[in-house]
Amino acid sequence: MTPNIDSIIRDHVTLTVRCLDRIYLQGYMPKLQTSGGLCYFLRDHLGHPIPSPALFRPMHNRFVDAIKTYATEHDVPLVPFESGQDKDAIVATYRAKCTARDGVVMIGVAQEKARAFKAHKRCGPQGGVTFDFTRQSVAVNHYYFYLQDPALGARLHQDRNLCAVPGQDLFERPRMGEATAAPAADPLRESGQRLSHVRRSHRLASDV
């Protein structure tokens, strides 16, 4: 049998450590994942008589403006990522310069594929206009909020500028030789409270 790397080093390994390298937490709004839910949100929740795709652009602009305003007011670098760049290497340089114990280290922007709604116009027999929505793959800007938390260490929160805004949190384990502060009584809750001002941008999907 041809030896593999496991059999070759088996007798030369004196210590093996297994642990989680990172944990992803996915967040989304279930009612905005279907065309019916989207129409209900635009018509019944926001109060528009016609669930038109023309309503997406103002929400998009408010979302992006809120991020830019936050970055300016809190002196957080807003960095565009180019295709093929090593995001981790770029972020590492900003983390090394950051002196704050917690907060947003930088915000990265990269255009990537995501699922979004496409509108199809339909004219009724009486001349009225309605829209049907289907999901498709599109390239949109993703916003990466790179965070530093005293209890959880390096973190990443990701948003996309879609009408149905999903979110994703990434918790990275400390690397070898790195130290973290003693955990708080409820680190997830405290971290969420510290980031509440960042997450206000999500209100475009519920309060706009």
pLDDT in tens, the chain (208 residues): 677 877 787 777 777 777 776 677 777 778 888 888 888 888 998 899 888 888 888 888 898 899 999 999 999 999 999 888 898 899 999 988 888 888 899 999 988 888 888 888 888 787 778 888 888 888 888 888 988 887 777 777 777 655 444 445 554 443 433 333 334 444 444 444 444 444 444 443 344 4
Residue 14 covered by a domain: no
Domain count, the chain: 1
Tokens of 57: 């652009």
Q: What is the pLDDT of residue 15?
A: 77
Tokens of 140: 């949109």
Residue 73 covered by a domain: yes
Tokens of 95: 């983390």
Question: Please, are residues 163 and 133 in contact by the beta-carbon 8 Å criterion?
Answer: no
pLDDT tens, residue by residue, 34-44: 888 888 888 99
| Domain assignment of residue 161, given as a range | 30-205
Residue 34 covered by a domain: yes
Residue 143 covered by a domain: yes
Q: What is the pLDDT of residue 203?
A: 45
pLDDT tens, residue by residue, 97-120: 888 888 899 999 988 888 888 888
Does this model's pTM top 0.85?
Answer: no
Cα–Cα distance for residue pair 45/206, rounded to 1 Å: 8
Residue 22 covered by a domain: no
Residue 48 covered by a domain: yes
Residue 104 covered by a domain: yes
**Torsion angle in degrees (nearest 10) through CA of 87, 103, 189, 193:** -130
Residue 38 covered by a domain: yes
Sheet holding 103-123, edge to edge: 22-27, 167-172, 153-160, 129-149, 103-123, 78-80
